[in-house]
Amino acid sequence: MEAGNFEKPTPDQKIFKDQCAYCFKDPHYKDGLFINLKNYHAFCREHAEIYANHTGNTLFVQYSSKKVVVEERVDGEPTSKMTKLTIDADPKYEFEDKYSVVIHPNYNQQFNNVQSVEDIAEAIQTIANCTSAERLALLSSTSNAWDADIKLITKHANLDQQDNGKRLALSGWRCEAEDCGLDENLWVNLTDGAIRCGRSQFVAEGQKTNGNGHMQEYFAATGYPLVVKLGTISSNLESVDVYSYDEDDAVIDPNLEKHLIHFGLDPAKLEKTAKSTLEMELDMNEKWEWAKCTEDGAVLEPVYGPGYTGLINTGSSCYLNSVLQALIEVKSFRTRYSDGALETLLNCPIDTIHNDFNAQFAKVVLAMLSGDYSSETDPTHNNIKPLQFKRVAAGNHPEFSTAKQQDVEEYIRFLFEKISTNSKNEVIDPTDSLRFQTWNRFEDVATQKVRYTEQEEVILRLPIPELQAVLQPIPDTEGRFSVDMNVAIRSFFDTQFVDGYKSPITGEQKGATNTVSMKTFPDYLLFQVSKFAYTNQGVQKKLDVEFEVIEDLDLSAYRGHGKKENEESLPEETQPVPAVPEIPASVRAVAGELIMMGFGENSCYRAAYYSNGNAEVATNWLMEHTEDSDINDPFVMPSGTPSARGEVDPALVASIVEMGFTAHQAKYALKQAPNVTEAVDWLFTNMDSIPLETAATGTSSDAPEPSATEAANQKTFKDGSEKYKLIGMISHMGSRPDSGHYVAHMLKDGKWVLFNDEKVALSQDPPKKLAYIYLYKRVD
């Protein structure tokens, strides 16, 4: 302590005690965790030694937790201290925690009687009583993670509290409703200090909390909205359970301490004795029996060892689990995040490690490849839960930060950009092994002049909806078809006609053609089978097709070489933008339809413009904005980027994507031009100005965002043989890519292995015809 190895925990000290900072071992492992008394971060025995040698911080509290059977109390009295009870019906268990002081390197010498060292004893007491920093991060950043809501600041931050002289005791509360008297699941109303019981809630199958809903009745009678759960109040205000009845959600009260002290409840004098509503939800969902798909109900042989680690589903996270299982088969990912993991972790400041993307990615990949969590002889601690990685990787993304199911193809694109952004100062960007470039050859039909543009990609999208004419019916099935992979690949590289294109040279509207070819061939190549088509209502529907996959591919016929000597370049279009742009025909047409329905002319043009020329979207927009003060002001076609425009028609996006562009590029272009022809034309002349997708969906910044072309110029692209072999696939079960379930099948040591979240087994019949994403490795 005198040598500077000890810091007394502050009142707002974040204490990490659920998991090792460098791996996934927890207090239930042999030797438990070692919490460093300098910074209150936890390490397993192996990593405590490494950390102490690296930093010189040698003083630890060893924290171990053992599950023991508990007997029911015959008197029925509740315990005064909150215990971490499991939800097992019979028998019941609780965790017996043990704390000792150890000094590196003498881990076998444990100091158990430290009461005479007051600061150490108080630090241990703080560690024992606190809510872990890991759980606080989950509670505060994702809030109701299981229904994908984000906890918001209440509108009652400046609540008008009654000066009724009521002062509450610091314990011994009971429900004040007549003939109730419950002493658990109690809530205090912050308007007048009334105490009532909450609603009874399910915490497990067949198991509910006690509660008669008297606080809800009290709100209905008084209208006093803001309540706090007694027993969750402590100096750590982040873990206090605050609920707003008229906002119908758990909320953040920025003036919580002031509101509590008004009725004599000083958080500094209270200790947490009950779980919050959200904590009970988390406990229940962590034990949920998630439905899993198997291969036709076959009994599969489990497989264990390095690279066979199961990933626990943390709530519709199978898309992430499947992607991680595929990526660890890519050599550059193993090199960056496994071989270099310890260096990454040690070089990351300990105070930022839990929110550092590179550190969390390294922690997950290292664990997956270690074999420590995939043991046949001791399956007690098999599988890991990449919850922290999911949170850090998603950041504040509006979709990936929720617990909703996601489209695995969209997540791959998002994750790759995140990796590249966090690899600027690194020797290896592992996504370089999968990135490739294509040539887009655009030809003006009227003049036969051409324009070549380069485009970066990470997934080659194979069209299916456009191949209806060549789909082969599958015998003995109803409405089920098959498509040959060669046909799908050929369709992607076939020349596409752009109808309505007006030649910038002759002024003739004879259209244009666009042809895609490969400029580079990466070490690993991802294919997406576009099994989803949009209905007339703009809803995605899965096509009932089987894909006749080719395991050994030769794509040499699709290599491009750029502009040929005998080709003339189509000049860049530099026509000045008129001061008042002409209203596009598609906008005029939709506005005309709305005018015929009886709406005002200016409001109709405004609705047609902000809905990208889609009649159905325009009608909905008009209904939602009828009360706008400027709805009938004279409409002038805006110039520049129409950033306020509404949702882009997914059918139009799909049409542009089929020409070889990404969904992000298509959406961005449709916000600059209202129809497919003009949007495609805009893309070929403005490709350099499109921001990266992560920039478009991330947080705002004053710094200019790099364009896709600028970013591509900073990246490197592998190039080599055009021959590939299938080594993995991600399959989807469900009607839409953002619902259902994902599993991965990977070819390892010559055998196909099924990765179904935490279930890892040898595959008897890998569904090669049904996959959504295919991973190929180059064969030199």
pLDDT tens-digit readout, 222-250:
999 999 999 889 888 887 889 999 887 78
Q: What is the pLDDT of residues 313-329, one digit of tens each?
A: 887 889 999 999 999 99
Active site residue 741: yes
| Residue ranges making up the domain that contains 370 | 290-432+722-778
Query: Is 130 annotated as contributing to ligand binding?
Result: no
**Per annotation, catalytic residue among 20, 23, 130, 318:** 318
Active site residue 318: yes
Q: What is the pLDDT of residues 376-430, one digit of tens each?
A: 988 888 999 998 999 899 988 878 888 788 889 999 999 999 999 998 777 789 9
Residues 195 and 228: their CA atoms lie apart, in Å, by 10
> Confidence band (pLDDT; 50, 70, 90) for 121?
very high
606 occurs within a structural domain: yes
Q: What percent of the chain has pLDDT over 70?
A: 79
pTM score, whole prediction: 0.68
Query: Is 201 annotated as contributing to ligand binding?
Result: yes
Q: Which of 42-46, 465-469, 674-678, 712-716 has the highest mean pLDDT?
A: 42-46
Domain co-membership, 379 together with 422? yes
CA contacts within 13 A on the Cβ side of 218:
27
Query: Is 54 annotated as contributing to ligand binding?
Result: no
Nearest to 27 by CA among 104, 99, 81, 92: 99
Distance of CA 472 to the CA centre of its chain: 37
615 occurs within a structural domain: yes
461 occurs within a structural domain: no
Mean pLDDT of 365-378: 94
The total number of structural domains in the chain stands at 4
Q: What percent of the chain has pLDDT over 90?
A: 46
Query: Is 173 annotated as contributing to ligand binding?
Result: no
Count other Cβ atoms within 10 Å, centred on residue 448: 11
Domain co-membership, 331 together with 401? yes
Domain co-membership, 66 together with 15? yes
297 occurs within a structural domain: yes
Query: Is 175 annotated as contributing to ligand binding?
Result: yes
For residue 41, what is the domain's CATH number? 3.30.40.10
Domain co-membership, 340 together with 384? yes
Domain co-membership, 7 together with 109? yes
503 occurs within a structural domain: no
For residue 328, what is the domain's CATH number? 3.90.70.10
> Confidence band (pLDDT; 50, 70, 90) for 344?
very high
Domain co-membership, 682 together with 726? no
Domain co-membership, 325 together with 387? yes
Element of type H or E holding 441 = strand 436-444
471 occurs within a structural domain: no
Residues 684 and 676: their CA atoms lie apart, in Å, by 12
Query: Is 290 annotated as contributing to ligand binding?
Result: no
Domain co-membership, 369 together with 294? yes
Check residue 67 and give its pLDDT: 75
Instruction: Return the structure tokens found at 702.
Output: 């004053």
- Residue 759 bridge partners (DSSP): 756
Query: Is 437 annotated as contributing to ligand binding?
Result: no
Domain co-membership, 684 together with 726? no
Domain co-membership, 659 together with 621? no
Residues 145 and 44: their CA atoms lie apart, in Å, by 28
For residue 601, what is the domain's CATH number? 1.10.8
Domain co-membership, 620 together with 751? no
Query: Is 263 annotated as contributing to ligand binding?
Result: no
Tokens 């050994």 map to which residue? 552
Query: Is 293 annotated as contributing to ligand binding?
Result: no
Query: Is 197 annotated as contributing to ligand binding?
Result: yes
Domain co-membership, 666 together with 767? no
550 occurs within a structural domain: no
**Per annotation, catalytic residue among 156, 259, 732, 741:** 741
The 10 Å CB-count burial string (b at 16+, else e) for 671-699 is bbbbbbbbbbbbbbbebeebbbbbbebbe
64 occurs within a structural domain: yes
